[in-house]
Structure 1
């Protein structure tokens, strides 16, 4: 897990320009290391920045990290930081989680949870600053993923008009995730550039919604939006990415 967020550099769009020119019919790309920087908005106002990265730990294991750092507004005043990391391997086409950790820090508090996915016993379990009912073991099924791995799977699997189904097992919770990919691409602005992207929607229980925009050839979402009651809440917008 990264100890701190990297300083956001001036956007570099050369890789995005190449990716936007590629045809959507290309096969899914093999997993490769990358690092991506985002601006974070809340209710339309810039609140901070975020870094997402995929790194290769060794010949068998990978790690995906997401760190969010509040730099302005209420997030900045409260010193809000959140870091999440999943170590995983690949079994065929599956991203299989092995360990998962989350750290959330505010001005006077720090909460940490650690999860172990034991594929021999087919169980996952979390400990740390987590409710007692979420510390109970969860039975694992083939294809189970953490939230960060589902983001990578959506990038890999998205095709126009396709429905994607995953099983989310993360932080002591388990639930089905279903995403619907729009049939047509739409324009999405990334900095000063516009790109043709696939819109991927997940309607959650109640009135929550997650939207991910995918550009073919780009290994990370160009935008991730969470909405509640029809209003935008957290909104991550890509400003730069590069191979690590």
Structure 2
């Protein structure tokens, strides 16, 4: 399964800590999703955005509980610690991904984005080639941060461009936002949402639906070779103090 681009219990802050960058338009939230795999309901997911002092952390946890295929593909934890700089730029500082499959394996990869040296490096259960340092450029983001940036930037008809730097890999991600909203049925709730589609993923498609006033995607769909793979459908969300 490809890394999920992208998407909240809040830690209590000491009174000595400065407030997070609310001016950047970020607000804490927790969202729960039904997780589908290859067209069948296979588990659940939770996405959280929470302040960490003057920084922020976004987490995504997916748990498969139905069928062997779902269990193998849908046990994943991702998180990114980041700050907000310049003109509302999300800058990753630390990232981790943990994949579990019952007793078969438990793999964890951790990355550090060192903006002082201009390099990022990953350690853990990762190939030697991907352990090599990656030269950073302004605007580089992890998979989860790209999801958050899509929420920030989606506007009717917009073309979006991001550089993905995650897990020792570098890729250009291009998205096209639909000109008009469409009705997205998620469970018993309908949302008027903009479809945001990755246009340069080849056989690996990513579609994110963004609804006005909802801080998290209402649906995230990954398709591989023309078939639905991972499909996260929003169940509920709430803000956090």
> What TM-score range do you get, normalising by the shorter chain?
0.7 to 0.9
Number of the residue aligned with 1:121: 117
Number of the residue aligned with 2:127: 131
Q: Conserved in 2, the CA contact under 8 Å of 1:204 and 1:210?
A: no
Query: How many angstroms apart in 2 are the aligned matches of 1:95 and 1:181?
Result: 20
Number of the residue aligned with 1:163: 159
Where does 1:27-66 land on structure 2 (aligned, <5 Å)? 30-58=25-53, 60-66=54-60
Question: How many residue pairs get matched?
Answer: 217
Number of the residue aligned with 1:152: 148
Per-residue CA deviations over 1:105-148 (Å, capped at 9, x if unaligned) read 11221101110000000000000000111000000011000000
Per-residue CA deviations over 1:168-227 (Å, capped at 9, x if unaligned) read 000110111100000011010122121210000003443111000000111110000011
SS of the equivalent of 2:130 reads helix
Query: How many angstroms apart in 1 are the aligned matches of 2:132 and 2:38?
Result: 35
Q: Conserved in 1, the CA contact under 8 Å of 2:63 and 2:71?
A: no
TM-fit CA distance, 1:161 = 0.2
Farther off after superposition, 204-213 or 170-179: 204-213
Number of the residue aligned with 1:20: none
Q: Conserved in 1, the CA contact under 8 Å of 2:120 and 2:136?
A: yes
Structure 1 position 110 matched with structure 2 position 83: no
Unaligned runs of 5+ in 1: 1-5, 7-27
Structure 1 position 191 matched with structure 2 position 191: no
Query: How many angstroms apart in 2 are the aligned matches of 1:50 and 1:56?
Result: 20
SS of the equivalent of 2:122 reads strand
- Runs of 4+ in structure 1 deviating by more than 2 angstroms, as ranges, are 75-80, 203-206
SS of the equivalent of 1:152 reads helix
TM-fit CA distance, 1:231 = 1.1
Query: How many angstroms apart in 2 are the aligned matches of 1:177 and 1:170?
Result: 12
CA gap 1:80/1:227 in 2 versus in 1, 3 angstroms: closer
